[in-house]
Structure formats: C-alpha cells, structure tokens
Amino acid sequence: MCSNYRPVTRADQMLRFFGVAIDEDLPPVDCWPTGTAPFIKLAEDGQKVERVATLGLFGLLPHFAGEVAQGRKTYNARSETVDSKPSFRTSWRKGYRCIIPAEHIYEPNWETGKAVRWAIRIERGIPMGIAGIYWPWKGEDGPVTYTFAMLTVNADGHPVMQRFHRPEDEKRMVVILDPKDYQDWLTCSVADAPRYFRQWTGPLEAEAAPTLPRAPRSKSTKPPPTVPDLGLF
C-alpha cells in the first residue's frame, strides 16, 4: 500500500525515463491522497501509441463520487479485485491504465514497535513507473478532472517490502513496471494486462525519512482550480 510518495516533477527526468515532454519543472513536493501530481497515459487524439503527461488527483474518483474527499479511500487498487470493485471496475474494463512516475514512495516501518516513515526507491536514482488506473471525473457543476490510483500486489516474501506496515497486516506493495514494459502496459488488452501484476524483483533501497505532517485534507466537493480539465502538457 502507498498513501504518500514523491512524484517525478523535473522535465528532464520525465523525458529521459518516461519518454514524455512537459513544458517546465513542477514544484518538488510529496503527494498525499487528493493531492495533485503528474501521471502518464495514452493520448486521446487517435494516436494510440503516443504517451502524454497530465495532472491528476491522487485517489481515483469514479463517476458516482460526490466529492473530492472520497479519493482518500481510493488511492490504491488491489490487483486481485480491480476488475470487480465498484470504484475501479469501470476504469479497468475500459482500459484506462496509466503510469505514475515516482522518485520514491513512503511506507511505515514498525520494526521499532512504532511507525517510522521510510522512503523506498530504485537504486542509482532511477525513478519508479508505478502501474495505475485513472478516471476523468466530473464533479457537480465542475470541469472534468483526471484522477488516478496505484495498483498493488501481495508483498509476502519480498526482501524489502515485507518489512513495512504493522506486523499483523497483510504485506502489500505497488506494482512497479519494468521500463521496457511501459508502452505495452498502456496499449495491451484488458485481458493481457494482469500479467504485470507481480512483485518488483529489481534492486530497491530503503531508509528512514524525515517525518512530515500530512497535507491539509480537501473538503471541497469540486476539484481544485489548479487541476486542468484535460492534459496540462
């Protein structure tokens, strides 16, 4: 599970590692549920092989969501139930898959008996491309706003990710894609997509991170004005 992460916000990294161009660097901030961050999807102009980046809210809002605050419960989608849970199944069945670029993610480590915030990243400064799904949500009398969720798998036995969350909780981790699979993840059929539901076997490093307060929770029923109705980039 992941409720907090550091998005990739530098234009040079987005181009080098994900093959998408953005106009300028964005502020480097941690993202919490209902926060705004870039994600990558296919273009919507018929060029089905072109990747584009856009801004969205972290926490998928299905068509029946009445307010942005619901995203605090829908930021992670379990791979085992993404095709059946009401909040996620329409996005999944429509093939609305995306890649969420992350410098690192944060998870709570309980090895000391209390939660300590740790940062987990791929070694050598390579950003993560996390598998996700998205939905273009339209609030009451508001513009279309993109929203997204990270997909997760069981992390039992993983040398790094099994160290996080409470001892009694199921161990989970986000689906980290191999860069060579980015395009296929976005373009493959819905029936073929579950082949990417697997633990990351590449190198990860983890270390204690500064403890930071949570960002203010959104109570608005409308999307923040900084989020565009369509792709920003």
Output the domain CATH number for residue 48.
3.90.1680.10
User: Does residue 164 lie in a domain region?
Assistant: no
pLDDT at 82: 98
User: Does residue 144 lie in a domain region?
Assistant: yes
Count CB neighbours of 111 within 10 A. Answer: 10
Q: Rounded to 5 degrees, what are φ and ψ at 113?
A: 100, -10
Count CB neighbours of 84 within 10 A. Answer: 11
pLDDT at 143: 87
User: Does residue 137 lie in a domain region?
Assistant: yes
pLDDT at 221: 44
pLDDT at 210: 76
| Count of CA atoms in the C-beta half-sphere (13 A) of 170 | 7
Structure tokens at 33: 């549920």
pTM (whole model) above 0.85: yes
Encode 186-210: b = buried (16+ Cβ within 10 Å), e = exposed: bebeeeebeebbebbeeebebeebe
Per-residue pLDDT of the chain (233 residues; tens, 9 = 90+): 789 999 999 999 999 999 999 999 999 999 999 999 999 999 976 555 799 999 999 999 999 999 999 999 999 999 999 999 999 999 999 999 999 999 999 999 999 999 999 999 998 889 999 999 999 999 877 789 999 999 999 999 999 999 999 888 899 999 999 999 999 999 999 999 999 999 999 999 999 987 655 554 444 444 444 444 333 43
Instruction: Identify whether the C-beta of residue 25 lies closer than 8 Å to the C-beta of residue 11.
Output: yes
pLDDT at 142: 76
User: Does residue 219 lie in a domain region?
Assistant: no
User: Does residue 44 lie in a domain region?
Assistant: yes
Residues 6+ apart with CB under 8 A from 221: 66, 67, 68, 139, 140
User: Does residue 207 lie in a domain region?
Assistant: no
User: Does residue 37 lie in a domain region?
Assistant: yes
Number of compact structural domains in the chain: 1
User: Does residue 227 lie in a domain region?
Assistant: no
pLDDT at 89: 98
Q: The domain containing residue 28 runs over which residues?
A: 5-105+124-157+176-199
